[in-house]
Structure 1
């Protein structure tokens, strides 16, 4: 255990976050996301038993978001015609607001299959057992100043 570090952040996850450089991306995926196949060329860390909001809050407590792009946080758009509710997106916005002065303005959306393609280039995928639908979030790492 470390002081000031969320106990959700495992040693393996902290190591991976430290290894990431500016503009590297990570995906925090819900339980339906094909993490192992999408992440077969990268690093996948399983965090079963945890939800995406819990992990997002813990990661953003130590992870700087990229300030050189308008939307360093990307969510998967709903498939056109899909009437599924996405209240988890409101949770994401609140968590981002707590850690980045841009708040919800730092969040963008991309089409489902484009999200999958971009996730294939992510340095890290954190696979969760989140049950909410469309609860996948991609973060682009910034720099630590000072």
Structure 2
């Protein structure tokens, strides 16, 4: 065990975060996302929801401050109003002393972008359109 690492952050996820370099992206995928078919590096965090994982990752990894959009979200369709989980994400990112500026990607554009991400984390998140891409920044401390 290690200190100050959330219990939802598995050894496999720590390894992935350590391997990632500046500009690499990681996808936090909800329970409906086709994670296994979209990546060669899959981290399964079944039984965990995305907000807790997002907090745990941002405690370990900074977001990229050299790009306009360090966060990307999967856009919803007309059948869903603005997902309430997006507000939760905004609060978590702002709590990490970042400015929340998200890019909104149409579902199939998000899928294509996810295929080029360094890794995908499969969660048990039940909220619709809860998929988020994070771009790793530079560690300066």
- Given the two structures, how large is their TM-score scaled by the length of structure 1? 0.92
Q: What residue number does 1:118 align with?
A: 113
Shift, 1:84, TM fit: 4.6
1:87 aligns to 2:84 (yes or no):
yes
Q: Which runs of 5+ in 2 are unaligned?
A: none
Give the C-alpha shift of residue 9 in structure 1.
1.2
Map of 1:132 onto structure 2: 127
**CA distance in structure 2 between the aligned counterparts of 1:77 and 1:119, rounded to whole angstroms:** 14
Extract unaligned runs of 5+ from structure 1. none
Q: Residue by residue, what CA displacement relative to the aligned partner does 1:86-127 show, whole Å, maximum 9, x if unpaired?
A: 11111000000011331x2x2221111110000000111000
Q: Is this contact kept in 2: 1:65–1:100, CA < 8 A?
A: no
Structure 1's consecutive aligned runs of 4 or more residues displaced over 6 angstroms after TM superposition are none
Which residue in 1 is equivalent to 2:70? Answer: 72
Q: 1:8 Cα shift?
A: 1.6
Counterpart in the other structure of 2:57: 59
Task: Count residues in correspondence.
Answer: 141
Take 1:27 and 1:139, find their aligned partners in 2: how far apart are those partners? Answer: 6
- Aligned equivalent of 2:102, options 90, 107, 112: 107
Within a 5 Å distance, the mapping from 1:20-59 to structure 2 comes to 20-39=20-39, 42-59=40-57
8 Å contact kept, 1:20–1:123: yes
Asked if 2 retains the 8 angstrom alpha-carbon contact of 1:22 and 1:141, the reply is yes
